[in-house]
Chain A
Amino acid sequence: DSGVTQTPKHLITATGQRVTLRCSPRSGDLSVYWYQQSLDQGLQFLIQYYNGEERAKGNILERFSAQQFPDLHSELNLSSLELGDSALYFCASRSNQQAYGYTFGSGTRLTVV
């Protein structure tokens, strides 16, 4: 157990639907990062939050949004889902004392049918 908790582990939904992925960072970590991993593109950075505020944006589609709540858990919202959104979605957290190493959760496998 890495200390980063992601739910659900698996999600199957239809095209056009909306889903929410949840992440709880390691205790004490203020930063949360969301990544998408597909077979052909590897890990793609989506967005970062630090203590409730958006810090950096990567290749995140306009159909996707995220937020970090006062208790530091984060949610990634994916809407108008397309077949190509099927992927593993990882959350990672980082502490300032971790020599820049990120701790990843076990991921949510999203399948859009």
Chain B
Amino acid sequence: EDQVTQSPEALRLQEGESSSLNCSYTVSGLRGLFWYRQDPGKGPEFLFTLYSAGEEKEKERLKATLTKKESFLHITAPKPEDSATYLCAVQANAGNNRKLIWGLGTSLAVNP
């Protein structure tokens, strides 16, 4: 069964304290892995798409990497405005089914 697991569930960092969020997945053929940011009461905001193992994407203080079994979202020198829930989703390479399988997210709090 296709599955996405994110860890940790919650993470509290001091401003400037770098860390990584994990997204482990099992899927029958990966079409794409997506990272989103969600602020309270708002819709998820697209960050990155990764397609194959070894691929990396960067945006400001965020860097996403992908292996055959997991993805990491590295946060370098975070700021309080990086506080949000970070969601990971995968899309299986299964015909015309465009369904994304979502993790439960990691809630990140960055203290000033």
Contact = CB atoms under 8 A, between A and B. Distances in A.
Is the A/B pair a real complex?
yes
Interface in B63-112: 87, 89, 91, 96-100, 102-105
A43 B49 contact: no
A67 to B, nearest CB: 18
Contact of A100 (B34, B42, B45): B34
A28 interface: no
A49 to B, nearest CB: 11
Given A100-B34, A100-B91, A4 B43 contact: yes
Given A100-B49, A100-B91, A106 B42 contact: yes
A33 B99 CA distance: 9
Contacts, number: 58
B8 interface: no
B102 A92 contact: no
A104 B38 CA distance: 10
Contacts of A18: none
A109 B49 contact: no
Nearest to A90: B43
A109 B91 contact: no
Interface of B: 31-32, 34, 41-46, 49, 87, 89, 91, 96-100, 102-105
